[in-house]
Structure 1
Amino acid sequence: MKKLLIIFVMGLLLFSSSSLAKDMEKKFSKVASGKPELIQEGAEKGFCPVCAMSINHNYKTSHGVVAKKSKDNRQYCSIRCVLVDGKHAHEGNKHVVVDAKTEKIIDAKTAYYVLGSKAPGTMSKISKYAFASKDDAKAFNSKFGGKIVLYDEMIASAKESLNSDIAMVNMKKNKMMYPMGKKLYKSNCRPIKDFSSYKRINELKTDIIKNKICDDSIKMKKLQAVTLYLWEIKRLGKSL
């Protein structure tokens, strides 16, 4: 009887801690509290060039690359998408990030990061939030947990989890986003005959909105599903 009571209490504590973590995630919003600072050009500047997710909705995890030899600045929803973009992020360009406290764009390499907090991550199970001030990082850390690190450790962690992060995202796309996008595109959108004019996925998403290719019911998650299906299945030829 005593053993059963101990097991019950331990289970209750685990459930309570899990519920607390989820509550903390709900209390922290990644969305920009005001007008976000965007470094990309063109109508598509509000969407990630790798996954097409909204920069505004993932603003506090947003990273960017300021091109030194061209005007091709890019802003991503997350560090995961910076790494997926590969060459562009590593050819001598400047890496910037949004300060999760001030919501200003800062130099990524001089920032303090809270790694693995209970606040929600973007495209990764391991969240990464940047701060120009160490005091701000400490305040965030005391509330949401995690570990305060510098750029090199943050980027090493992101690279280490990249394959598992990609696998996690691909599983979601294969199970839910592609099938949803295919169904919605066929029933709620006008056909697109030529995809070759779109250089990046955020251009495609912007065009769907601008030219009202889909009806008014296709918004937010549904729009993302249609965009992913069209870009990765129809344009890039991935198998469904």
Structure 2
Amino acid sequence: MSDKPTMDRRLAMKMLAATGITGFSAASLAANKSIGAMVPGVGWVTASGEKGEHDGTPLQFMPKNPPDDKPLEDELKKYPRCPYCGMSRKQWHHSRHLVQYDDGLVDGTCSIHCLAISLSLNLDRGPKAIYAADFGSSAAIKPLVEVDSATYLIGAKLKGTMTMNSKMAFASADAAKATQAAKGGELANFDGALTQAYAGMAKDTMGIRKRRLERRKKMMKKMMMQKNKG
């Protein structure tokens, strides 16, 4: 998927699901140009109304990129935006995750929150490998590490991504403990962090809906002001 705001209907429906706008038929999508999704860094993107062959089945949520045997090579170029919230994975590199499924398909997400969504929607494919950004790294772009060897710090005084309850991964358990001493929180493995992501999904989703609605209102107000000036 590119950074350009050109989207087919299947991608638009993913965005609609992430922002809570669902239940519209193809006809209503085509008739109502205001139906769409707020994509961070892009703005409001209108759904096309074009019907896809696999709409109404789990296949509509399947990662659209071809199988990738080397998912870590140029991963931010190949998977620049989270398919579930639209956020730039480079901007949120410190919390990004990536899953390679057993059929070679790859989903790159901005956070463990959106990774949890991917795992829920792809129930018929098993994760071959899952990676998370090493929050403890000092690199300009934090490298990915396998989650099985990572230590997560949950609920620390760190800004979360798509959640108020931050869940950051560390390649080094000692680095996680040092951050815990400074910022608080609880240590856990990946399974524990994923469980917390699912447990907080309802509260996190309500917060995301509220923030995105506020952004949309501000954007519409700005557009009206510009229109009135013109």
TM-score by length of 2: 0.58
1:178 aligns with 2:216: yes
Of 50, 69, 93 in structure 1, the residue corresponding to residue 84 of structure 2 is: 50
Residue 155 of structure 1 corresponds to which residue in structure 2? 194
Q: Which runs of 5+ in 2 are unaligned?
A: 1-71
CA distance in 2, matches of 1:185, 1:68: 46
CA distance in 2, matches of 1:96, 1:90: 20
CA distance in 2, matches of 1:90, 1:114: 30
Contact 1:55 1:76 in 2 (8 A): yes
Q: Which runs of 5+ in 1 are unaligned?
A: 1-35, 189-240
Which structure carries more relative contact order (alpha carbon 8 Å, separation 6+)? 1
CA distance in 1, matches of 2:196, 2:150: 15
Question: Where do residues 1-240 of structure 1 align in structure 2 (5 Å cutoff)?
Answer: 39=75, 42=78, 45-70=79-104, 72-85=105-118, 86-88=120-122, 91-93=125-127, 94-102=129-137, 103-174=142-213, 176-182=214-220
Give 1:158 shift.
0.9
Q: If each structure's strand is expressed as a fraction of its own residues, which one has the higher value?
A: 2
| Alpha-carbon spacing, 1:114–1:132, altered in 2? closer, same or farther (3 Å) | same
Q: If each structure's helix is expressed as a fraction of its own residues, which one has the higher value?
A: 1
Pick the structure with greater CA Rg. Answer: 1
TM-score by length of 1: 0.55
Runs of 4+ in 1 over 3 A off after TM superposition: 180-188
Give 1:136 shift.
1.1
Alignment RMSD (CA, Å): 2.7
CA distance in 1, matches of 2:107, 2:85: 12
Contact 1:114 1:146 in 2 (8 A): yes
